Amino acid sequence: MTQEKLGKAINVPQRTYAYYESGQRMIPPMVLCALADFYSVSVDYILGRTDNKQ
């Protein structure tokens, strides 16, 4: 999936999402929640705090 498509899905501009991926910006909690919802996983899974997707 491209950054542009994912950004549109979670309502974040592609450039902003690119900054998140590169570590140039911190991902805000609301964006983490949107990503978790999009991928149907927990925020802890995205953050690497658990191997359990739920």
**pTM confidence score:** 0.87
Q: Is the pLDDT of residue 42 over 90?
A: yes
Q: State the pLDDT at residue 54.
A: 85
CA distance 21 to 24: 8
Region of 22 (left: φ > 0; alpha: ψ -120 to 50; beta: rest) is alpha
CA distance 1 to 30: 21
The structural domains of the chain, with segments of one domain joined by +, span 3-46
Check residue 52 and report its DSSP letter.
-
10-39 tens-digit pLDDT: 999 999 999 999 999 999 999 999 999 999
Length of the chain: 54
